Structure 1
Amino acid sequence: MTHWKALVTGVVMTVGHVGASATWATAEGIPAPDETTLRSQADIYEQYSVSSVVDLAPMRATQTVTDADGTVFELTSLHPDVNRWYLLQITPAAGNGISQSYHLENADASTWQFSLSSDNAPALVVSGPGGDDNCAPWTGAPSELEEAAKSGLPYAPVCGEKIYLRNRVAGSRTNREAVSDFLRENVVFGDKLVNLIKGAFFEDAFLEDAETVDGGDAGDAVAALGTARLDRQPVMRPNMSIEVDGADGGMEAGAWYAVTGVEGAFASVMKPGYIANDILAERNGANWLDGVEQNADVYLVAFDLSQFELGLELGTDHPALGWSSRPQRRGEDWNMPGPDGFNTAAPLVRNGMLNPSMTSRAVAAFAGGFKRDHGAFRFGDYAGFNKGHHYGFLSNGVTFSKLIPNLATLYVTHEGEIAMKTWEEGDASKIPSLRHARQNGVALVTRDPETGQPVPGDRVASWGGGNWSGSADAQLRTLRAGACLKDAGGRQFLLYGYFSSVTPSAMARTFQAYGCDYAMLLDMNSPELTYMAVYRQNEAGDGLDAMHLNRFMAESDPRGSTGAIPRFVGFADNRDFFYLLRKE
């Protein structure tokens, strides 16, 4: 990687920036790292192999204080501009015990910042609109941190519910009843329950009077989305569990319909065989479609991104951090536990679940992409360099696996920009600005630089060269999911597509027909791996109901004593996922 000089200089120049997530740079917050420290951290990031995931957080800022008894407290903001994740390490004086690490998550990154006091009795300083509040969750017997660690919750609240301790849990149905009860009893839906985030401690300190922005009605967004370029537009009755407005008699292929009760979300259905012949007949990198995939249902959901935030949360287990079995390792690679130098997230915690403070704003979630073992190249030129092109991923400003040039990348900046592109060497300079990123293979669709039209990616027809994989019996045509971005009518839309049995060529042609600017594969082969659900508040007002893109996906949501528990927002999952939150 290159361009670290520009990266570091840019960060140093923005240290004095005034904003919701920048008060860490003030006297009351964690002191901003100086240029020498940032350059050193950048140099470590750039190494061929590093010792831990913390080394891949080059923007981190650290504060250290020592108690009167010699105990050392070290608090690290892993990405100050993101202001979401902190690492607290407590090291007793020599001979008095072992060091403990705690992965803390800010319950409201737009409201609070954390630092350490330097008094004789160190404490966490929680800074917000109402002033500073001190909290020492490591004191007492048992301490608040000890109780939180034993709670069995993926997110255990401490310090007046302003901070969550991220706990290691099993990424399955384990503890789902405890988590479900916790969410139902504590998270706000409407004004029925106690608000964990903006409670009564400062009373009116959290009063907000935001400027009202009229985003227009659903018809405006439908008009902007347009209709897919199809030669046939019959009315379809899809096996789709998402309810839409105005489709009592069925859904016209290629048209968009507002999702019932979810403002800013829209659904569409089609079959690849309906795509306009002038698209299908093009000899520009995609294969002819066979008779099966021509008649395979495709279900799509679009989100008007002016209304939503996009994020990525890693699963408890997947994608893993070790080596894929696909590429052949060379030389020193055999001495490295993983392509980045490590195979564990420690001391950070991955818990496969949306932070409870976000649950009331959750609108949708979908599975993130390939497991690590499948997320690298076995064949073709990409298998022979860049360590086999292991797909990279980044969450909350922390790189867990480096983003690799040549791969399709969906990313979100800390300022909220959402983009897709094929990652390039020069994109290293973007690292300081990233909040989330996920790579999955190569592009399905890009814009032709000369014509401006969407065209298939240059490896769509290459099975090994594109690492497209297939079903369990090695068939290239299988159930697949993909995503694309589309700018239209002055709006940006994120489209998620569920393809019931297709090759990459059929996916590319579909995204072309819908006018996508860039499209990429997500995961494949089963409804569980291509899971997607849209959420709306339940009738009781104390939780979310999930509407699944396909009814088979509902089988991934376990049932508890109060009914179905939505995957990703109701219990810890072993797979990574993207989530959409309604903007505040």
Structure 2
Amino acid sequence: MGRLATAFLIAAAAVTGAAATGGEAQRDPQALARQWAAYEEVRPKSIIELQPFRAEWDAEDAAQGLRLHFVALNPAVDAWFLLQATDARGRVHSYHLENPDPAAQSVRFETTPSPTVVIRGRVGAETFCRPWADGARELAEARRTALPYAPVCNGRLFLRNKVTGSRTTLEATAEFLRDNIWGGEDIVRFVRDTFFKDSQLETSRELGIGGGRAEQGPAPMRASTPPDQRPVISTLLDIALEGTPHGRMAVGLWYPVKGLPGIYASAFQPRAIAPEVLQGPGRTNRLDSVEAKATGYMVAFDLGRLDMGYAVGTDHPALGWSPRPPGSVRPRGMPGPDGVRSAAPLVRLGMVNPVIANRTVATFTGGFKREHGAFKYGDMATYNHGHHYGFIEKGTIFSKLQPGLSTLYRLTDGTIGMKTWTEADNALLPRIDFARQNGVPLLETDPVTGQGVPGDRVARWGPGNWSGSAKAELRTLRAGACMARSAGTTWLIYGYFSTATPSAMARTFQAYGCDYAMLLDMNALEHTYLALYVPQGGRTHVAHMVPGMSLIDKKMGGGRILPRFIGFADNRDFFYVTRKEAPG
């Protein structure tokens, strides 16, 4: 990044962080410049050094015999903090604290007259908290609970406790083979390509010709037949809809989800896409006979009513090197592409906090593990350390965002976007709430028309890093996401493809009017998981994209379900969708 751009970024960080840290003096531009220089250096570093916009305080609590170090990891986001207490014997105790609702309360650290954490609510009421007092009794008790989120400071903050993230037997077996058996990755690939290829393929019976209201939800899929003459097909969608009996949907039309305003669902088969889309601009491969008839589903979220978040899993994506790029792009002595191998002393949890859980309406899995989240072939494997996919949670950078990669992100002002990241976009970093990169675009936005067109690597197996079989056979279970706009509403659309190539995904998203689309994950139901949380008679019903996904959740007594990402920690990263709250 050039000097002018760097100066602008540092100035932006100083201004955006001023309120959260107690004033402009706390955001010393020279300190920010030093932190940015350390961030850009190619050398081993800690996860804290990877936070260029952090604010830090040091204080003595003589009464407690402690030296305190308090870090706001990104003051503009105001969500995560690191408290380190050093006792008289030089022992350092680290505590990762979370502000569960930055929109409703802010956090600051005061060093005088005595060190105090101050939590200020919307109406100005303040809570003064010193959890390290009395031998850090409150923090010790919170840690002993072993809860992922243990309340402290009168319940206004959470201590994040390290836990083990859940994983399925399939994932555990694959990871054991990769980590412990020579050639384990080849074994996993052989089993997947031989026994699991098209394992989730869904085909449907045509039940008649019909249709429905094309004006509800996002724009309907552009098809070879008008909306009132669409084939009505049998479906396995495990979500209750309005306007159609369970198990029946007209191809390409949208149906409201019962009990969840602002959420719609649609069923598709790529063979129904309008010829002008299939033969439109952009290079893609022709649909093969299997993916053409494969039934898939879209779920759309109205971003005027709903908000989004993102969380890393307890283990994935990891921070070290992917084995995919060549050794020539690895600087000697670097433990990972960003110089970081471990997130410690920060705690990764793979689940939402209890405050957010109460207003969460959906979750879906995030993206590739680090092992597969970098390039093995093509030009992008040869520079930028192989373009490892970047990710940011709560304003905290776990892995740097790389130019050229598809990125789903949210800014601190609530803006949600999807784009191919550029070097110039780093100016947004001080205001990034979350970001997740996953490969290259399925659709890019045409700068002239504003419409989505297939990315220039969609039909290129290696340079596109689309994975699939060793023979470049790309058809498999896949999930992706896109952004679409219709009638003044912005939609985030999640797509589940029971079997598809990147070309089929691109043309399908294009047919739904998406202006940008990206791959998320693939190959297994746990990697393409989506669940909706529907209020029903004082309880919450967990509805899944397809029935097999329910096996990933945990079962409790009385027929109750403990949902993934909400009720227990998971080893994988994920996105969550929440109801927007009226300003208080």
| TM-score bin, normalised by smaller chain | 0.7 to 0.9
Cα offsets for 1:11-68 (capped at 9, x unmatched) = 334455xxxxx353349xxx62211111111111122235112122211112221011
After the TM superposition, which of the residue ranges 54-63 and 360-369 deviates more from structure 2?
54-63
Q: Which residue of 1 aligns with 2:94?
A: 101
Shift of 1:454: 2.0
After the TM superposition, which of the residue ranges 81-90 and 442-451 deviates more from structure 2?
442-451
Q: Which residue of 1 aligns with 2:573?
A: 576
Q: Which residue of 1 aligns with 2:389?
A: 391
Following the alignment from structure 2 to structure 1, what is the Cα–Cα distance between the partners of residues 26 and 487?
41
**2:36 matched to 1:42?**
yes
Report if aligned partners of 1:329, 1:387 keep a CA contact under 8 Å in 2. Answer: no
In 2 relative to 1, CA 114–14 (structure 1 residues): closer, same or farther, beyond 3 Å?
A: closer
Following the alignment from structure 1 to structure 2, what is the Cα–Cα distance between the partners of residues 229 and 479?
23
Residue type at the aligned position of 1:164: F
Which of these residues, 81, 86, 89, is aligned with residue 86 of structure 1?
81
Residue correspondence of structure 1 range 5-24 to structure 2 within 5 A: 5-14=7-16, 22-24=19-21
Q: Which residue of 2 aligns with 1:361?
A: 359
Counterpart secondary structure, 1:427: helix
Which of these residues, 539, 547, 554, is aligned with residue 551 of structure 1?
547
Counterpart secondary structure, 2:13: helix
**2:244 matched to 1:244?**
no
Counterpart secondary structure, 1:335: coil
Residue correspondence of structure 1 range 423-572 to structure 2 within 5 A: 423-470=421-468, 475-541=473-539, 544-562=540-558, 563-572=560-569
Report if aligned partners of 1:105, 1:166 keep a CA contact under 8 Å in 2. Answer: yes
Aligned residue pairs: how many?
A: 528
Counterpart secondary structure, 1:149: helix
Following the alignment from structure 1 to structure 2, what is the Cα–Cα distance between the partners of residues 50 and 322?
11
Shift of 1:113: 2.5
Q: Which residue of 1 aligns with 2:231?
A: 234
Following the alignment from structure 2 to structure 1, what is the Cα–Cα distance between the partners of residues 216 and 255?
10
**2:342 matched to 1:344?**
yes
Report if aligned partners of 1:353, 1:571 keep a CA contact under 8 Å in 2. Answer: yes
Shift of 1:346: 0.9
Following the alignment from structure 1 to structure 2, what is the Cα–Cα distance between the partners of residues 426 and 15?
20
Shift of 1:318: 0.3
Report if aligned partners of 2:237, 2:546 keep a CA contact under 8 Å in 1. Answer: yes
Following the alignment from structure 2 to structure 1, what is the Cα–Cα distance between the partners of residues 54 and 319?
21
In 2 relative to 1, CA 280–220 (structure 1 residues): closer, same or farther, beyond 3 Å?
A: closer
Report if aligned partners of 2:330, 2:385 keep a CA contact under 8 Å in 1. Answer: no
Q: Which residue of 2 aligns with 1:328?
A: 326
Give the gaps of 5 or more residues in structure 2: 169-211
In 2 relative to 1, CA 433–116 (structure 1 residues): closer, same or farther, beyond 3 Å?
A: closer
Residue type at the aligned position of 1:566: P
Shift of 1:284: 2.3
Cα offsets for 1:291-348 (capped at 9, x unmatched) = 0000111100000001111111000000000000000123762411111011110111
Following the alignment from structure 1 to structure 2, what is the Cα–Cα distance between the partners of residues 173 and 466?
28
In 2 relative to 1, CA 229–242 (structure 1 residues): closer, same or farther, beyond 3 Å?
A: same
Report if aligned partners of 1:312, 1:576 keep a CA contact under 8 Å in 2. Answer: yes
Counterpart secondary structure, 2:84: strand
Report if aligned partners of 1:24, 1:113 keep a CA contact under 8 Å in 2. Answer: no
TM-score normalised to structure 1 length: 0.86
Following the alignment from structure 2 to structure 1, what is the Cα–Cα distance between the partners of residues 15 and 146?
42
Report if aligned partners of 1:64, 1:73 keep a CA contact under 8 Å in 2. Answer: yes
Give the gaps of 5 or more residues in structure 1: 17-21, 175-218
Counterpart secondary structure, 1:336: coil
In 2 relative to 1, CA 575–471 (structure 1 residues): closer, same or farther, beyond 3 Å?
A: farther
Q: Which residue of 1 aligns with 2:146?
A: 152
Residue type at the aligned position of 1:237: S
Shift of 1:361: 0.5
Residue type at the aligned position of 1:106: N
In 2 relative to 1, CA 256–121 (structure 1 residues): closer, same or farther, beyond 3 Å?
A: same
Q: What's the C-alpha RMSD, in Å, of the aligned pairs? A: 2.1
Residue type at the aligned position of 1:447: T
Shift of 1:364: 0.5
Residue correspondence of structure 1 range 31-430 to structure 2 within 5 A: 32-68=26-62, 70-93=65-88, 96-118=89-111, 122-128=115-121, 129-140=123-134, 143-172=137-166, 222-223=215-216, 225-232=218-225, 233-248=230-245, 250-282=248-280, 284-330=282-328, 333-430=331-428
Following the alignment from structure 1 to structure 2, what is the Cα–Cα distance between the partners of residues 140 and 537?
43
Counterpart secondary structure, 1:4: helix
Cα offsets for 1:141-173 (capped at 9, x unmatched) = 671111111212111111111010011100017
Residue type at the aligned position of 1:354: V
TM-score normalised to structure 2 length: 0.86
Counterpart secondary structure, 1:41: helix
Residue type at the aligned position of 1:4: T
Following the alignment from structure 1 to structure 2, what is the Cα–Cα distance between the partners of residues 220 and 424?
40
Shift of 1:417: 0.4
Report if aligned partners of 2:405, 2:438 keep a CA contact under 8 Å in 1. Answer: yes
Shift of 1:130: 4.6
Following the alignment from structure 2 to structure 1, what is the Cα–Cα distance between the partners of residues 503 and 311?
29
Report if aligned partners of 1:4, 1:428 keep a CA contact under 8 Å in 2. Answer: no
Following the alignment from structure 2 to structure 1, what is the Cα–Cα distance between the partners of residues 115 and 156?
18
Report if aligned partners of 1:471, 1:478 keep a CA contact under 8 Å in 2. Answer: no
Following the alignment from structure 1 to structure 2, what is the Cα–Cα distance between the partners of residues 74 and 473?
53
After the TM superposition, which of the residue ranges 80-89 and 31-40 deviates more from structure 2?
31-40
In 2 relative to 1, CA 331–292 (structure 1 residues): closer, same or farther, beyond 3 Å?
A: closer
